[in-house]
Amino acid sequence: MCGIAGYYSKNLFFNATHLPLMANAIAHRGPDNASYYNTPKVGLAHRRLSIFDLTAHAHQPMHSACKRYVIAYNGEVYNFKEIAQQLQDKLGNDFKLYTTSDTEIILQAIATFGVEIIKTFNGMFAFALYDTVLDELHIYRDKMGIKPLYYYWHEGNFAFASELKAITALPQVLTTLNNKAVAQFLHLGFIPAPHTIYTTIFKLEAGHCITITKDKLVLNKYASVDELISPQIITNQTEAKQQLNQLLTTAVQQQLQSDVPYGVFLSGGTDSSLIAAIAQSLNTTPIQTFSIGFNEKHYNEAQYAQQVAAHIGTQHNQLIVSQMDAIPVIQSMQDLYDEPYADTSAIPTLFVAEFARKQVTVALSGEGADELFHGYGAYKWATRLNNWAFRNGKQLFSTALNLGNARYKRVARLFDYNNYAQQIRSHIYSQEQYNFSANDITKLVTKDYQYIDFTALNDVTTKQYNRTLTPAEQQAYFDITIPLQDDLLTKVDRATMRYGLEARVPFLDNDVVRFALNLSPDLKTKNGTQKHLLKQILYSYVPQSLMERPKQGFALPLQQWLKQDLYFMINDYLSPQAVQQTGVLNNSEVQKIVQQFIQHDPTLFRRVWLMIVLQKWLLTHQ
């Protein structure tokens, strides 16, 4: 895994002197090497984190054997050996390799079979491919959105990079605030693709590609999660359990391929425990597992990770984090993510990534399981809120629930939407996260930021698929294609790459995703138990009694810290003076929410945190 950057420019708007600026901005992603390729119009930069073939022969940008193509590639294609066999079958004795890296194989495959071969890649990637014959630059991102890609497009000039900071490092780049992104951030806690906080910089959406030729940009979707949904669903539990176990085993086995040490993030929950158990079953010696905990007992799951590790036989490593340890990380987090980003689980992820990097260069993680196998409470609410009585009596339910305590008022917020088809998916997500609803945002932001149309986020409700999806499946599809990509995978990528650690996500293997999307919802949630089938597989590795506890997630006690040693963040960023200075939020509404949080309503913590994050970014960048 690496960091990539580059440009396609007319009139020397960008030139070779800009490549080191971009590469240095993302040096943390590739501490092992920096290399460049440039012509008068095209520049490619690559920061390398060596995983396969640690020699200089595998440095990038890399030229194809025919010299027509040049690639700068970030990621891993796990089925590269199968692709190499296809090349052998096609080329015979003419097929020669000069490295043992997957980069050379995928480059040769594209040169031999054309870009259609990219659809068969099973892995995580974002890459730039320059065709020297046609003078075209192609940019591709994997269909699950595991690896990031940002791009700048303005007046015929194009720049791209693995992180925003590599683009904003260019002095010519316009960084005008995207007013429309503010409401999306307050609603979701992140800014969804294709948008960023800037008007001229975009995220390349998952499964999309860009072709740049002269001063023309063509954006296409080359692969989609939709294509994996079949007309029939899998209903036989015995067969499904056996098949999923085999698919996960194959995925983990492929993702353990490496020329450097590897390990597993282990929180002690279902997802990471299953990945760790399978990984250990494929090894004859103990693998390294890593977890962190907190001094606050309610948030400390380290003991559960220790118990799982002891049972499956890993070499477990544990770090306990204090409030004082966390403060500098919390303060610097926004610099890492480059735009407003409010997922507080990024903080423990940063700690475990730094901790793991001291011993390994590759770490497996459990992202994707909750979305694919229905592990969130949102899926139960998706079913409930689809009920005719709830849809037609939502105002009555909301009024009644608001008469109760904070818990009931929190449930009342789930009924606070205006249009079912245009809002329900993002609304359920936002309220499960304790974020602002569309109606809340109308009161919160000033007039220049009243862009509160979330219809595009919710097209999952009205889209046509190969079969009719249940409300829970629609909600899960929303989570897979938006929050998973733009929140969770972003979190893991930045947190791990900050320390030159490659994170891999076996649950997002192509075949596992295809299986999960076509698994009956009745096998995902059964008798009230979520992730039912996944847990049945886990219990063949770990005793059920060891896993029977409430779901907690990768949380930290930030809510109580904000009322203690982190209270200065409320003073610094949400004071009347600070809010007035940025001019984005309504001061009276901000002060009301802050006072309610401090005095009696802990459910408002997330909203306070969203406002702090936004204000901190605005005060830093305005």
Between residues 592 and 31, which one has the greater pLDDT? 592
pLDDT at residue 332 tops 80: yes
| CA–CA separation, 364 and 76 (whole Å) | 13
pLDDT band at 299 (very low <50, low <70, confident <90, very high): low
- Is the pLDDT assigned to residue 524 strictly greater than 90? yes
pLDDT per residue over 452-466, tens digit each? 889 989 888 788 899
Confidence of residue 555 (pLDDT cuts 50, 70, 90): low
pLDDT of residue 391: 87
- Please give the average per-residue pLDDT across 352-380, as a whole number: 97
Q: What is the mean pLDDT of residues 564-588?
A: 96
Rounded to an integer, the average pLDDT of 426-436 is: 96
Q: Which of the four pLDDT bands, split at 50, 70 and 90, describes residue 297? A: low
pLDDT digits 0-9 by tens, 207-263: 999 999 987 999 999 999 999 999 999 999 999 999 999 999 999 999 999 889 999
Q: Does 300 score more than 70 pLDDT?
A: no
Provide the phi-psi class of 294: left if phi over 0, else alpha when psi is between -120 and 50, else beta: beta
Span 364-385, average pLDDT: 97
Q: Which amino acid is at 347?
A: I
CATH architecture classification, 230-373+490-547: 3-Layer(aba) Sandwich (3.40)
Q: What is the pLDDT of residues 262-278, one digit of tens each?
A: 999 999 999 999 999 99
The pLDDT score that the predictor gives to residue 433 is 94
Q: What is the pLDDT of residue 53?
A: 64
Name the E strands within 410-484: none
Query: In angstroms, how far is CA 10 from the centroid of its own chain?
Result: 33
Q: Please, which residues bridge with residue 73 across strands?
A: 127
Asked whether residue 161 carries a pLDDT value surpassing 90, the answer given is yes
Q: Is the peptide bond prior to 483 cis by the omega test (within 30 degrees of 0)?
A: no
- pLDDT interval class at 554 (50, 70, 90): low
Domain regions of the chain by residue span:
2-223, 230-373+490-547, 557-622
Q: How many CA atoms lie within 13 A of 63 on its CB side?
A: 9
When computed from its CA atoms, the radius of gyration of the chain, rounded to whole angstroms, is 24
Question: 83, 87, 72, 70: which is closest to 34 by C-alpha?
Answer: 72
SS3 helix, strand, coil % of the chain, rounded to 5? Answer: 50, 15, 35
Identify the top-confidence range among 256-260, 314-318, 385-389, 545-549. 314-318
Q: What's 2-223's CATH class?
A: alpha beta
d(CA 130, CA 430): 40
- 124's tokens: 């995580």
CB 556 within 8 Å of CB 326: yes
Res 295: pLDDT: 77
Give the model's pLDDT for residue 172: 92
The phi, psi pair for 293, rounded to 5°, reads -140, 175
- Please give the residue that has the higher pLDDT: either 546 or 407: 546
Answer whether residue 350 shows pLDDT above 70: yes
What is the average pLDDT across 52-74? 86
Which has more pLDDT, 395 or 444? 444
- Is 82's pLDDT higher than 90? yes
Range in 85-94, 265-274, 310-319 with the lowest mean pLDDT:
85-94
Three-class DSSP category at 349: helix
